[in-house]
Structure 1
Amino acid sequence: MLTAMLLPWNATAIYFADRPSRLESFLHGTPRQIEGLLVRSLLETTQGKLDAALSDIDEVIRAMPNFKLAYLVRGDLLQAKARQISGFGSAPNAPRDEIADFQDEARVRLERYLSREDAPAQPDYLWQLDEAQRHAIVVDTNKSRLYLYRNDHGQPRYVADYYVTVGKNGTEKQSEGDKKTPIGVYFAGKQLERKKLPDMYGTAAYPLSYPNEWDKHRGKNGHGIWLHGTPSNTYSRPPRASDGCVVLTNPDISSLAPVLQDGSTPVVIVGNNPVSQAALKAERERLMGAMEQWRRDWETQNTEDYLARYSRDFFSEGKNFKAWADEKRRIQQSKSATSIQLSNLSVFRYPDGQQQMAVVSFDQDFKSDRLNSHMRKRQYWILEDGQWKILYEGAV
């Protein structure tokens, strides 16, 4: 029905009287007001309420005169008032590739409204936030949507969501210049200096930490994957139009400035990898148990059980599993009394469609009669044959 609605304006009407609170939430406050008016105009069009639809889309254009999709909708509405039009963007000689882009943008914006939930109450990928992470972001590339969560005592709470553009060639970035958006767990750095940026990056840009440790291990390369805005003459871009970056409207990237200003906000970019909430909860609990057992085995110098917590595919700063194990056996021969405490823990499920993984970061306090150290550490855990094991370990 949704596809049909976007093609002929006289498609079966979609009624929204039973969802007044949903539409109201779109019509008030940044960033939803502009999108809410566009959605209402499109829905009114399918119901034959052309005057109301035209009034709403005119309000959109007055507020955002560089919103190209809104002009296309307005043109269709003017044609519809004069005669029945054959489809979305049916003006004579309209470029078909550009019309397809506008269709995609209208579709994903409508689907956001028509979805049953504003956002997952318990997002699949944010298993735990440490207290320094005041917010976290999940980018759903399939829905062209960025979801913002705040940290509520370690648990994510939904705040808002925003329309985004991703790579013109899709996702799963592999190499420099492939125009794809990476899938993975990253962190947004501090805002780049505006005066040094070309206009195409909009009012702000924040570099993401691509390639991460796992990307590099798999031979992925490239750089310059950012969260950024749009050129001054463009309100928004089609869902698939960037060179790999995640692109928001300028008002939206500006509204995220307080969230991104500390330069360490987690950004999890995901594709389509649905897993049941019950299964995720069970795996999270098993991972937390495996981490605690790893800490205990290390603290008690139970070397072989400690090493059994590592994958045979383990890597760390030039070391493979054998080199790591040899070094740990040598160090732990003395069996000196040791205290190991972990704090400020964050856990993110890694969006890998091939295997279950998680990225864990924590502050580590190590004390023995020979060494007293404090460091921030990151680990990648992988589920192997039903057991969580450490795939990577290194300092942050």
Structure 2
Amino acid sequence: MADIVRQGRLQHPPFRLRSGQQLLAALAAVSALMFAAPGAALASNAAGKTAKTSGSVHKEKTRAKGPAANARSTARAGAAGRPSSAKEAKEARSAKSRKAGTAVVAAAATSATAARTTRKPAPAGAIQEASNAEARLIAVYEMFGRGQTRPALAKARDLVRDYPNFQLAQLVYGDLLAAQLPPSNSLPDTASIAKMRGNPAMAELHEESKRRLQALRDRPPANTVPSQFLALSTRSRYAIAVDASRSRLYLFENSDKGLKLTADYYISVGKAGTDKVTEGDARTPLGVYYITSSLDPKSLKDFYGAGALPINYPNPYDVRRGKTGGGIWLHGTPPQQFARAPLASDGCVVMANPDLRQLLRKVQIGATPVVTARSLQWISQPQAEKESQSITSAINGWKDARASGNEAQLKKFYLPDFQRSSKKSNEGISVVDDEVKYAQGKRVQLKDMSYLHWKDGDDTMVVTFGEVFEGEKSGRSRRQYWLRQGTDWKLFHEEILG
């Protein structure tokens, strides 16, 4: 949470205080609950600022009763979801004597407000931020940041009513209820603060809040795409990119005008992080993959929620490097859980069920690419076209050598351990012989080209295309895996798709 405070701390109090009232030092509460010394230092600095009152100046305190109130309110909200109207009315009356914000709401409101005011606006319609539930949660943060505490409480109440299993929303609602309570005569002691710091569930919720707000604040630059998407055929109507460092899945719509970011969602990845190597290491794989099927939720345990989308891990590049394991899915959450902590799966990418349902309506089996990256790098369309020139040249050279029947030249494009998988067996026939006989010197048109670039020490390219020979109406569809060696691209694997 220290990062949230650094990037977007309040320059003015979120609301004015009446005479005799106290403002909980929101940033000081962050120092008690955000589990990091840098946050405490920032909170102390912020507490030195003054808040104007009617006829007087009130200095913020550097200690607050936030931890105790937060623990009580979280338990109450989590158990009941929505309090009785009489009880809430009583709490509302107590707000006349005191307005305050506990740690999660105050810090998040600070960051959300700053993000909205400091980030460069994206072109109209270019970005659909988050899902409905997340957008509503962010609206709660923003209302609180503007001092609209009662509307924020009402919106939070409606949110937990509609999504009673949304644990972070329950915590925020509990914090807002605590903000209405009369002040306690006692302040948290060191033991209480230490206990809150050591609560894994609380730490995970704070980290979830941080990741959601980071994604709001650090938006992809306008008119850019992830660096892996150099070119994508319009046969792939959608594309998916996962940024593990931001706990975010980005969904792109593809057309003849190129890729357009249409939505993004909070996600969870492996307990041990990313870069899967072996079976059972609880890591999410990094690389370029494709959706291979869509599993009916009726055939799955409740644990997987609204459904599951397996990807082709390990792909040929993973196999080449000796990586093992399998069963990597994009899937939902159990009915009682809206979202999981940022690092919580056994290697899968986990989404809230409402978000996954949106994805299920859009993906195409075998045609929707899924990039999973530790941190996405974004490039412009002209840069993507420039970076695709070398592989385009290699593909054309391969095509020309095959058409000319020049086996010696064609052989230069293959690594010695090249492998092919297809529906038809070609055992006993060398790939060069097979290609020359297949082409028979005919001119061929390559169409629906897709270039997906992956670089993590080695430089690889996943190329998908269809080919039609002169005088024919249809032909093969291929997916090729290329590896750069020096300045040359070499084929190490090919799949005949149909």
TM bucket normalised to smaller? 0.7 to 0.9
1:18 match: secondary structure: helix
1:148 match: secondary structure: strand
Cα distance, 1:129 vs structure 2 = 2.1
2: distance between equivalents of 1:331 and 1:364? 13
The question of 1:300 aligning with 2:404 is answered: yes
- Alpha-carbon contact 2:407-2:433 (below 8 Å) kept: yes
2: distance between equivalents of 1:133 and 1:13? 40
Cα distance, 1:390 vs structure 2 = 2.3
Hey, what does 1:166 align to over in structure 2? 269
Amino acid at match of 2:296: E
2: distance between equivalents of 1:358 and 1:301? 25
Which of 168, 174, 177 is the aligned partner of 1:75?
A: 174
Hey, what does 1:110 align to over in structure 2? 213
The question of 1:177 aligning with 2:177 is answered: no
- TM-score normalised per structure 1: 0.82
- Alpha-carbon contact 2:130-2:266 (below 8 Å) kept: no
Give the 3 Å change call, closer, same or farther, for CA 135–331 of structure 1 in structure 2.
closer
1:163 match: secondary structure: strand
Give the 3 Å change call, closer, same or farther, for CA 144–120 of structure 1 in structure 2.
farther
Which of 193, 199, 203 is the aligned partner of 1:96?
A: 199
Cα distance, 1:121 vs structure 2 = 2.7
Give the 3 Å change call, closer, same or farther, for CA 331–177 of structure 1 in structure 2.
closer
The question of 1:66 aligning with 2:172 is answered: no
Which of 419, 432, 444 is the aligned partner of 1:328?
A: 432
Cα distance, 1:130 vs structure 2 = 2.2
Give the 3 Å change call, closer, same or farther, for CA 331–133 of structure 1 in structure 2.
closer
Counting aligned pairs with the same residue, the percent is 32
Range with bigger deviation, 164-173 or 211-220: 211-220
The question of 1:136 aligning with 2:233 is answered: no
- Alpha-carbon contact 1:60-1:70 (below 8 Å) kept: yes
Cα distance, 1:91 vs structure 2 = 8.7
Q: Aligned runs of 1:232-247 on 2, under 5 Å? A: 232-247=335-350
Hey, what does 1:386 align to over in structure 2? 487
Q: Deviations over 1:14-52 (max 9, x none)?
A: 5446379979x99x9895332122223334555665434
Cα distance, 1:238 vs structure 2 = 0.9
Q: Deviations over 1:319-369 (max 9, x none)?
A: xxxx99976269859x9633333222222112x32122210011234589x
The aligned length equals 384
Which of 282, 292, 300 is the aligned partner of 1:189?
A: 292
2: distance between equivalents of 1:215 and 1:338? 35
Cα distance, 1:373 vs structure 2 = 8.7
Q: Aligned runs of 1:1-396 on 2, under 5 Å? A: 2-4=3-5, 7=34, 9=103, 13-14=110-111, 15-16=113-114, 18=117, 32-45=131-144, 50-82=149-181, 83=183, 96-117=199-220, 121-153=224-256, 155-260=258-363, 262=365, 264-272=367-375, 274=377, 277=380, 280-311=384-415, 314-316=418-420, 328=432, 337-350=441-454, 352-365=455-468, 374-396=475-497
Larger radius of gyration: 2
- Alpha-carbon contact 2:410-2:432 (below 8 Å) kept: no
2: distance between equivalents of 1:39 and 1:332? 60
- Alpha-carbon contact 2:243-2:376 (below 8 Å) kept: no
2: distance between equivalents of 1:313 and 1:273? 31
- Alpha-carbon contact 1:119-1:158 (below 8 Å) kept: no
2: distance between equivalents of 1:29 and 1:126? 20
Give the 3 Å change call, closer, same or farther, for CA 382–280 of structure 1 in structure 2.
farther
- Alpha-carbon contact 1:127-1:284 (below 8 Å) kept: yes
- Alpha-carbon contact 1:131-1:154 (below 8 Å) kept: no
Amino acid at match of 1:302: N
Give the 3 Å change call, closer, same or farther, for CA 20–59 of structure 1 in structure 2.
farther
2: distance between equivalents of 1:203 and 1:59? 23
- Alpha-carbon contact 1:127-1:155 (below 8 Å) kept: no
Amino acid at match of 2:277: Q
Which sections of structure 1, spanning at least 5 residues, go unmatched? Answer: none
1: distance between equivalents of 2:156 and 2:377? 36
2: distance between equivalents of 1:100 and 1:144? 16
Q: Deviations over 1:153-201 (max 9, x none)?
A: 2721211111111111111111221111111122213321222211110
Cα distance, 1:244 vs structure 2 = 0.9
2: distance between equivalents of 1:138 and 1:119? 16
- Alpha-carbon contact 1:379-1:394 (below 8 Å) kept: yes
Cα distance, 1:225 vs structure 2 = 0.9
1: distance between equivalents of 2:434 and 2:149? 78
Amino acid at match of 1:388: W
Cα distance, 1:263 vs structure 2 = 5.4
1:297 match: secondary structure: helix
Q: Deviations over 1:105-126 (max 9, x none)?
A: 1011001111244776333222
- Alpha-carbon contact 1:128-1:154 (below 8 Å) kept: no
Cα distance, 1:383 vs structure 2 = 2.5
- Alpha-carbon contact 2:224-2:378 (below 8 Å) kept: no
Cα distance, 1:286 vs structure 2 = 1.9
Give the 3 Å change call, closer, same or farther, for CA 69–92 of structure 1 in structure 2.
farther
2: distance between equivalents of 1:279 and 1:314? 30
1: distance between equivalents of 2:384 and 2:342? 29
1: distance between equivalents of 2:465 and 2:141? 48
Amino acid at match of 1:181: T
2: distance between equivalents of 1:331 and 1:286? 22
Q: Deviations over 1:229-249 (max 9, x none)?
A: 110001111111011111111
2: distance between equivalents of 1:338 and 1:79? 77
